[in-house]
């Protein structure tokens, strides 16, 4: 009986760990740059180990994320922007917790970090 309880506890722990934190929904925050702070808005959807969603540009248009992956509480994805001079790819990695995602990004070799929080 004791062995069954132990096995049930281990199984519960493993199954909860495999799903990770809930990334679904809207997330908002601010990125600090030399040109000032910029608001960021993401919508994420988990589909097994695939992450889909979008980022809103400053005009409010949705830019789809690409290469989205989920590994436990870790996510990664990219966004491609085009300001009329050809595409510019931003890559992101993040750690998801209950109410925030700590993100690090790379924009043409320039690293940056910021936090987004779950929108109410």
Residue-wise pLDDT tens digits, 73-98: 999 999 998 878 889 899 999 999 98
Question: Could you give the number of structural domains in the chain?
Answer: 1
Burial (0-12, 13-18, 19+ Cβ within 10 Å), 37: exposed
Parent domain of 64: 21-118
- Does any domain span residue 106? yes
- Does any domain span residue 2? no
Q: pTM above the 0.85 mark?
A: no
- Does any domain span residue 1? no
Per-residue pLDDT at 27 exceeds 90: yes
- Please tell me the distance from the alpha carbon of residue 28 to that of residue 95, in angstroms, as a whole number: 15
Split at pLDDT 50, 70, 90, the class of 20 is: low
- Does any domain span residue 75? yes
Residue that wins the pLDDT comparison between 108 and 92: 92
Mean pLDDT of 21-35: 90
- Please tell me the distance from the alpha carbon of residue 113 to that of residue 87, in angstroms, as a whole number: 22
- Cα 65 vs. chain centroid, distance in angstroms? 10
Per-residue pLDDT at 5 exceeds 50: no
CATH of residue 38 = 2.40.128.120
Residue 49 · residue 70 · CB < 8 Å: yes
- Does any domain span residue 51? yes
- Does any domain span residue 5? no
């Amino acid at each position: 009986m004791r062995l069954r309880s132990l096995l049930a506890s281990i199984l519960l722990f493993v199954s909860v760990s495999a799903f990770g934190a809930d990334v679904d929904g809207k997330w908002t925050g601010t990125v600090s740059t030399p040109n000032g702070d910029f608001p960021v808005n993401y919508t994420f959807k988990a589909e097994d180990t695939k992450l889909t969603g979008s980022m809103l540009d400053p005009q409010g248009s949705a830019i789809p994320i690409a290469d989205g992956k989920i590994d436990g509480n870790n996510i990664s994805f990219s966004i491609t922007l085009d300001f009329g001079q050809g595409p510019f790819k931003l890559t992101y990695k993040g750690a998801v917790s209950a109410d925030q995602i700590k993100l690090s990004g790379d924009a043409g070799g320039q690293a940056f970090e910021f936090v987004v929080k779950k929108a109410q």
